[in-house]
Amino acid sequence: DTAVSQTPKYLVTQMGNDKSIKCEQNLGHDTMYWYKQDSKKFLKIMFSYNNKELIINETVPNRFSPKSPDKAHLNLHINSLELGDSAVYFCASSHHRTVDYGYTFGSGTRLTVV
Amino acid sequence: QQQVKQSPQSLIVQKGGISIINCAYENTAFDYFPWYQQFPGKGPALLIAIRPDVSEKKEGRFTISFNKSAKQFSLHIMDSQPGDSATYFCAASISGTASKLTFGTGTRLQVTL
């Protein structure tokens, strides 16, 4: 009955590989996000989708490509992984386009690039 | 450019004491200010939030104080408990736009016995 679930929880991969992280929410929310938390715990938004429409795309390298097949799912594909991509990636969801109702975050995917 | 500045970076408080975390923002268009709590290995969870039309909001042991003229807001945790030990993030956003929370840098709180 997890509200926002991400898989995998841990991901260790070599430089240059391509990897994907999946996210699903069962809250009926219409907006989903990807946030990156770096080693200093700083949280920064990467992307936001509302009903499968991309509405926020921060200055993220083109190697990162989000995909939302429906409003309950938001996946993140990363090409040609670099050491600097190592971080914890959080998926989140909310209701409506505004944040008034608060975000619900998943438990995160810890990505380690070696 | 860090639009939301948070202090202190870390805080140690004795059980039963008051924990105070401060945030300052630059963008006067911000009109929603939530606080999130994050435990190790977990995602941030919404704790309490305030809008600038009120100066204080209280939920249980957690209180947000808001000073619009100073562009500052703070989280007070009364009667701090060891279970409150976590990382706390302030955040800010602008209503009516595409959702985008701008987070502070986080405060690691440790409540000792």
Average pLDDT (A64-82) is 95
Chain B CB contacts of A59 below 8 Å = none
Residue A43 in contact with residue B103, Cβ under 8 Å?
Answer: yes
Residues in CB range of A59: below 8 A, 6 or more apart: none
- Is residue B52 classed exposed, middle or buried when 0-12, 13-18 and 19+ CB atoms within 10 A define those classes? middle
pLDDT for position B99: 66
pLDDT for position A95: 80
pLDDT for position A83: 96
- With bands split at pLDDT 50, 70 and 90, how would you rate the model's confidence at B87? very high
Q: CA nearest A105 in B: which residue?
A: B43
- With bands split at pLDDT 50, 70 and 90, how would you rate the model's confidence at B31? confident
Which two three-digit tokens encode residue A63? 């190697």
pLDDT for residue B12 is more than 90: yes
Q: Give me chain B's average pLDDT, please.
A: 93
Measure in Å the smallest separation between the Cα of A14 and chain B Cα atoms.
Answer: 23
pLDDT for residue A97 is more than 70: no
Residues in CB range of A60: below 8 A, 6 or more apart: A46, A47
**CA–CA separation, B41 vs A90, rounded Å?**
11
pLDDT for position A101: 64
Chain A CB contacts of B52 below 8 Å = none
Q: Give me chain A's average pLDDT, please.
A: 91
Which two three-digit tokens encode residue A100? 């008034």
| Ramachandran assignment for B96, one of left (phi > 0), alpha (psi -120 to 50 degrees), beta (any other) | left
